[in-house]
Amino acid sequence: MLNRLCLSVLLLGGILAVTSCSDPAGVGGNLGETPVSSDSVQARTIPARAVGTVEAVSKTGRQLSPSPGQSVRNWRFLFGQVDDPLSGPINAEGYLDFAGSAARGSSIANSPVDSLDAQLRLRLTYVHGDTSSTLDVQLYDLRTEADMDRAPADTTFSSESTAINSYQVSPTDSLLRFNLPQSWIEEHQAVLQDSSEFGDAFNGLKLTTSDGEVVVGIEHGSATLQLATRQDTVGFQSLKSFTHLEKEGTATADLTDRTLLQGGIGPRLVIDWDFDRRLFTDTLRNVPLNKANLTVPIDTSKMDQERPANPDFVRPRVNGYRILGELTPDASSCRQTGFRQFSNDPETCRLPSDPATPPGSARLDPQLTREVLRQVLSQSPLFTGFQVEVAAREGQQSQNTVQQGLPSTLPVLVRTAERFEAETRPHLELYYTPL
Beta strands 205-211 and 135-141 are antiparallel
The pTM score is 0.88
Alpha-carbon dihedral 424, 412, 320, 15, rounded to 10 degrees:
-40
Give the Cα separation of 257 and 262 in Å (integer). 17
Our CA angle for 30, 35, 38, nearest 5°, is 80
CB 383, CB 371: distance < 8 Å: no
> Is residue 26 classed as helix, strand or coil in its secondary structure?
coil
Query: Quick check: helix, strand or coil at residue 133?
Result: coil
Q: CA 370 to CA 292: how far, in whole Å? A: 5
Beta-bridge partner residues of 178: 120
Contact 363, 24 (CB under 8 A): no
3-state secondary structure of 266: coil
Which stretches within 45-145 are classed as H helix?
A: 106-109
3-state helix, strand, coil in the chain (%, to 5): 15, 40, 45
- How far is the C-alpha of 401 from the C-alpha of 334, rounded, in Å? 16
Encode the chain (435 residues) as per-residue pLDDT tens digits: 444 444 344 444 544 443 333 333 333 333 334 445 556 899 999 999 989 999 999 999 999 875 555 555 589 999 999 999 999 999 999 999 998 877 888 888 889 999 999 999 999 999 999 999 999 999 999 999 999 999 999 999 999 999 999 999 999 999 999 999 999 999 999 989 886 778 778 999 999 999 999 999 999 999 999 999 988 999 999 999 999 999 988 999 999 999 999 999 989 999 999 898 888 988 899 999 999 999 999 999 999 999 999 999 999 999 899 999 999 998 888 988 889 999 888 899 999 999 888 778 999 999 999 999 999 999 889 999 999 999 988 765 566 788 889 999 999 999 999 999 999 999 999 999 987
Q: Tally the residues of the chain.
A: 435
10 CB-near residues (< 8 Å, 6+ apart)? none
How far is the C-alpha of 248 from the C-alpha of 246, rounded, in Å? Answer: 6
The answer to whether the beta carbons of residues 369 and 296 sit under 8 Å apart is no
Nearest partner of 12 among 271, 421, 419, 375, judged by Cα: 375
Q: Is the dihedral of CA 257, 262, 268, 269 positive or negative?
A: positive
Q: Distance between CA atoms of 201 and 180, rounded to whole angstroms?
A: 17
